[in-house]
Amino acid sequence: MQIAKNHLRHFTTIKEWDRFAKENSLPKAKVYISVFSSWTQVKKELNVTPYQRKKKYSLNQIEEIIKVHKQHLTSKENWDAYAKDQKLPSYLTLIQFYKWEDIKRLANQPIRYNYRKEDLMKIAKQNKFEFTTMNNWNRYAKKYKLPYAATYVRKFGSWRKAKLQCIYRNQTESR
């Protein structure tokens, strides 16, 4: 019990204690539970206050956090790493208030979509008269908010392969 008393601030949750115990070569929560029958009972014996749920945020607070920390909203993973370090709400908390695209808009960050090949093929087929050269397509894509040629190159391997699979393959299938 002396070990536990020396580290009371880490007796919040079993997960938190086990993480701390592992980092500091201390007994895991299950050792305490085996002696006291439950984690709640261990905390009662140590006179530890019950675990406080994470802070609740208002819509205004979330919006302010997005605006103040917008440079770190480049990706979900980047945000979570930064948020954890700065004790800010995680990506999962943010999307309880806004869609990811809306968060990116509030943060003035570019929105990147992860298109499937089938989606790209459909877009190309619907706009086949503009799907000629990369430059022509990019001008058209920018005007109508469609995926750029680079997206097709990434998904299909090259612009030529994208055209072959999206336009020419579809023409032969429709004959």
Of residues 174 and 162, more confidence is placed in 162
Residue 51 lies in a domain: no
Residue 52 lies in a domain: no
d(CA 116, CA 113): 9
Instruction: Please give the tally of structural domains in the chain.
Output: 3
Of residues 45 and 124, more confidence is placed in 124
Domain boundary among 87, 106, 125: 106
What confidence score (pLDDT) does residue 171 get? 55
Q: Please give the residue range of the domain that contains residue 153.
A: 117-173
d(CA 100, CA 7): 38
d(CA 60, CA 40): 35
Q: Is-above-0.85 flag for pTM? A: no
Structure tokens at 59: 């819509």
What sign for the dihedral angle of Cα 149, 146, 106, 100?
negative
CB 11 within 8 A of CB 17: yes
Tell me the per-residue pLDDT of 56-110, one tens digit each, with 9 for 90 and over: 888 999 999 999 999 998 888 889 999 999 999 998 899 889 888 889 889 888 7
Degrees (nearest 5) of the Cα angle 158, 162, 163?
Answer: 120
The answer for residues whose C-beta is within 8 angstroms of residue 38's C-beta and 6 or more apart is none
Residue 53 lies in a domain: no
Q: Which amino acid is at 111?
A: I
Residue 80 lies in a domain: yes
Query: Residue 151 — pLDDT band, cuts 50, 70, 90?
Result: very high
Residue 54 lies in a domain: no
Q: Are residues 129 and 165 in the same domain?
A: yes
What confidence score (pLDDT) does residue 174 get? 47
